[in-house]
A and B are shown apart, each in its own frame.
Chain A
């Protein structure tokens, strides 16, 4: 066997060893499991960029006043698809609405976990019934406000409706 072949095998072995190492690392890169904890206050802008699917119109956030107002006017009566926190400690947080119901409250199991002393554990719920979206107060202490009215029963909402829970203001968006 010639020296050349041996040299090729020898270097090939080293190369393969490193290919193995890098393929393992490659597998690990795609192998994320468990839970991810994100601190909201410091990362609002980055989260917005990271999760475009959570906010269907990320560009709209920059000039929120202009475009969303226009959207509200043109699409009055449209079904909301996501919610956006516009005031309070979670400002900027966006969340897609689920047909199965979105619970808002301080309880960690809620879909939107509020950091608001005036919110209850399970404060309010946004859900679909017969193709229409409703918001319902879940017996909270300080109440859920739709515009200027305190909710007493499940009330239909559209994109553009504004909810107030404690110090948090939530806008529903298309």
Chain B
């Protein structure tokens, strides 16, 4: 016997504003710190830049006030702080490389940040109810499939540093895999909400695990083949791991069956081992991982070693922004931005950053617990988990927990597609959390609500 008591939530928008201003303040302090340490002066045009940053952040905050007043109060400040810290670090590396404003990575990153924030605000503005997305389950599946295959098309696919995960249209390059992550989460959520009963109830019990029927294994096999395809043809271990991990976890969340995780891990291990035996670049990655300081490895790539050395040089409190030498590591502003922060902010600063990710993911999962519809639960859990898995893959890669893969750190790394995808992801989570926290009486249940949706025709086997 138990009692259920409900706590009516408050909107907490003012708390969000205070946290947002604190986040902007930290970013400005970090920016000033870099400029003082490198150029010995307060940066020129500081006021303009601060005002620009404030307009973006507070603008998004106002959109939340008007369009999602019950949304989670801490996601926006965390995303703003992470994005701002990334900008500062990229700017710092620009200064070290002596790049002019025009060709600087920081300028591009700033433009992409502004664009991403505007697009995320647009998502919040136009998507009034996340359940609308459920209508586009299979469209989302098809779009994700196309996005994942785009880089393989001759003409627009680009091979950059061994991985064929870019598309280029004229001067613009884009990594469709980042956006595919969100679209796939929508597809998986919609699909699993429909089929989870079959996936979780049918099956036989062996050794304490309830194993699914053979014919229910179809979807997980398709996801597995797709992820292996990415690994083989696009040689992108990171995206492959992310995609498959996302699917397995969403299956687990939908069915509450540990056997899916066991099956997923087994399939992934087999696939990865076969890929290791067959493909040279996978073997190379594993060799870098196991033995980053051997002469063989250093002759090919000293990136991992330099990153480790950089973090070691940072120690506990770091060298201070602008005082370390993170620019020695190749890709210090994208894949290796975590070692850059480790060097200049030290273990203490790096852990603060990781805590921010933990809190962001926690809020996403809390949203999944709080929201009332199954689709929203699965979507929020999937999106939050994808951020967590991505962080694990990146940080694990640079700290030699797992072989290094080419994923970006959400919000921190230089890269427009990554920023765009992650801001949209946060916008979706905010939209779902608004539904989750809104008092029941106020939840809109118009014709859009899934409960009222007309009976759907499901394919009969």
- Asked if residues B7 and A33 are in contact (CB atoms below 8 Å), the reply is yes
Q: Inside 8 A of A5's CB, which chain B residues have their CB? A: 36
Which chain B residue has the least Cβ–Cβ distance from A21? B355
Residues of B contacting A7 in the complex (Cβ-Cβ under 8 angstroms): 320
Within 8 Å CB of B12, what residues of A? 27, 31
User: Given A10-B33, A11-B317, A21-B355, are A16 and B25 also a contact pair (CB < 8 Å)?
Assistant: yes
Interface string of A6-19 (1 = CB under 8 A from B): 11011111101111
Question: B326 interface residue, CB < 8 Å from A?
Answer: no
Which residues of chain B are within 8 angstroms of A27 by Cβ–Cβ distance?
Answer: 12, 15, 19, 73-74
The binding surface of chain B is classed by DSSP as: helix
CA distance A163 to B390 in the complex (A): 59
Interface residues on A, range: 35 or more
- C-alpha gap A103/B73 in the complex (Å): 36
Residue interface bits A56-99, CB-to-B below 8 A is 1, else 0:
00000000000000000000000000000000011001000000
Q: Could you tell me the distance in whole angstroms from the C-beta of A145 to the nearest C-beta in chain B?
A: 22
User: Is B451 at the interface (CB under 8 A from chain A)?
Assistant: no
User: Total interface residues on B, using CB and 8 Å?
Assistant: 50
Q: Which residues of the partner chain B approach A40 to less than 8 Å between Cβ atoms?
A: 1-3
* Cross-chain contact of A39 among B1, B9, B29 (Cβ < 8 A): B1
Q: Which of B1, B7, B359, B370 has the most CB of A within 10 A?
A: B1
Closest 4 CB pairs of A and B: A33-B9, A115-B1, A10-B320, A17-B352
Q: How far is the CA of A10 from the CA of B26 in the complex (A)?
A: 11
B86 within 8 A of A: no
Q: Are B320 and A6 in contact (CB under 8 A)?
A: yes
Residues of A within 8 A of B (CB): 1, 5-7, 9-14, 16-21, 23-25, 27-28, 31-41, 89-90, 93, 108, 113, 115
Task: For residue A81, give the distance in angstroms from its CB to the closest CB of chain B.
Answer: 19
Chain B residue with Cβ nearest A16: B26
Report the Cα distance A6→B78, complex, angstroms: 25
Which residues on the B side are within 8 Å of A31 (C-beta)?
Answer: 9-10, 12, 73
A20–chain B nearest beta-carbon distance, Å: 6
B73 near A21 (CB under 8 angstroms)?
no
Question: Which of chain B's residues have a CB closer than 8 A to the CB of A90?
Answer: 1
Looking at the assembled complex, report how far the CB atom of B231 sits from the nearest CB atom of chain A, in whole angstroms.
36
A14-B346, A24-B77, A90-B1 known; A6 and B352 CB under 8 Å? no
**Do B3 and A38 have beta carbons less than 8 Å apart?**
yes
Chain A nearest CB, measured from B42 CB (Å): 9
Would you give the shortest CB distance from B390 to chain A, in whole angstroms? 20
Tell which of B1, B10, B19, B353 touches A24, judged by Cβ atoms closer than 8 Å: B19
B345 at interface by CB-CB < 8 Å: yes
Asked whether A14 lies within 8 Å of B7 as measured between CB atoms, the reply is no
